[in-house]
Structure formats: structure tokens, C-alpha cells
């Protein structure tokens, strides 16, 4: 399913991707692409791509970056991660080392899934940045509340894998992005 959707979408979005790349490069410094290690399927580390949304020198979010993050446009370079085979359209959102790779027991089933561009947890916690900014200790809140809830949702996704479920998640994602 991934390649059948992502390849034509990437080709169709190429002009938009190039414009966003140029805008990100002009706004935050060249190159306008952010690369970071993430945990993928079976715990394998891969490089995720995003449009840069922070000024490279000041390390502050740019106005254009805020807009791109609001509409998740900074995530569009992950279409290339899908084409490479590191990611899928739907699956657990990939996290930085120290989270998924540290799971124990049954929770490690999450690692059998390819990380996704979108997920049920990604839709639910769409405003995660805002939620964390309202906490006294954002790291503790993430570790004790958000991450365990995401793992629970991703395990549920694992046990209910289906094309129909993926379609529902994709439609829900598109629905929240329009808001």
C-alpha cells in the first residue's frame, strides 16, 4: 500500500516540497532539512528527515517553522523515508533512542512494526508540544504519562493491524490537519 500511495503523492507534491525546502533554507539556514537518528523496525536506527523549523544559530523556532509544524508540513520529507523503506504511512511514530529501544516484555512488540508518518497516538497527541509546554517538568510528564499511553496505543494497533484500520487512521489524520 505504501509505495502505491507515496510514490505518486511524492511526485505530485514535488513542487511543494521544493518550495518548502527553499523557504526552510532561507528562514532557518541552509540546508533546510533536519536529520536525526530514530529507532525503527526491530530497534534498527535510521535517519529521519524533516524540514528544519528552528534557526540554526539561535536554536529558536522560526515563524515559518511554527506554521510548518502546526500543519505538520515539516514531516513531509518523511515521504522519502517511506520510499527508502525505513518507514510506513501508518505505524508508531519513530522516537529518539532511549525510548522504544528500552521497552521491556510485551511492549517490545512495537518494534516489530515499521514506524509511520502517522498513527493513532500521533493523531491523539497532535498538540504534544503544547501539552508538554504546559507541564512543570515536561520530560517527566512525557516519560510517565505520554510515552506509556503511546506505547499502549501502539500495542493496540499491533494487535489490530488491518488495511481498514490504516485507512481510518489516515482519514482521521487528514481530518485533524484541516483544522
Nearest to 93 by CA among 105, 110, 106: 110
> How do the domains of the chain map onto residue ranges?
2-177
Q: What's the whole-model pTM score?
A: 0.89
Q: Return the closest-CA partner of residue 35 out of 85, 99, 78, 84.
A: 78
Q: Which of 77, 57, 83 is nearest to 5 (CA)?
A: 83
pLDDT tens-digit series, residues 110-132: 999 999 999 999 999 988 888 99
Residue 6, judged by CB atoms within 10 A of its CB (0-12, 13-18, 19+), counts as: buried
The rounded radius of gyration (Å) of the Cα atoms in the chain is 16
Tens-digit pLDDT profile for residues 4-50? 999 999 999 999 999 999 999 988 878 889 999 999 999 999 999 99
Residue 35 cell numbers, joined: 536529520
CA angle 166, 170, 175 (to 5 degrees): 145
Amino acid at each position: 500500500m505504501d509505495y502505491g500511495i507515496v510514490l505518486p503523492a511524492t511526485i505530485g507534491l514535488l513542487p511543494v516540497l521544493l518550495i518548502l525546502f527553499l523557504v526552510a533554507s532561507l528562514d532557518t539556514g541552509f540546508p533546510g532539512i533536519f536529520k536525526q537518528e530514530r529507532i525503527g523496525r526491530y530497534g534498527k536506527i535510521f535517519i529521519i528527515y524533516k524540514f528544519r523549523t528552528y534557526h540554526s544559530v539561535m536554536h529558536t523556532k522560526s515563524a515559518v517553522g511554527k506554521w510548518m509544524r502546526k500543519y505538520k508540513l515539516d514531516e513531509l520529507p518523511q515521504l522519502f523515508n517511506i520510499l527508502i523503506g525505513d518507514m510506513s504511512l501508518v505505524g508508531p511514530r519513530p522516537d529518539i533512542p532511549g525510548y522504544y529501544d528500552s521497552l521491556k516484555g510485551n511492549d517490545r512488540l512495537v518494534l516489530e512494526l515499521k514506524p509511520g508518518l502517522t498513527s493513532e497516538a500521533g493523531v491523539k497527541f497532535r498538540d504534544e508540544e503544547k501539552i508538554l509546554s504546559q507541564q512543570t517538568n515536561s520530560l517527566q510528564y512525557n516519560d510517565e504519562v505520554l510515552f506509556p499511553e503511546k506505547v499502549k496505543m501502539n500495542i493496540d494497533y499491533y494487535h489490530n493491524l488491518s488495511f481498514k484500520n490504516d485507512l481510518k487512521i489516515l482519514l482521521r489524520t487528514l481530518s485533524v490537519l484541516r483544522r
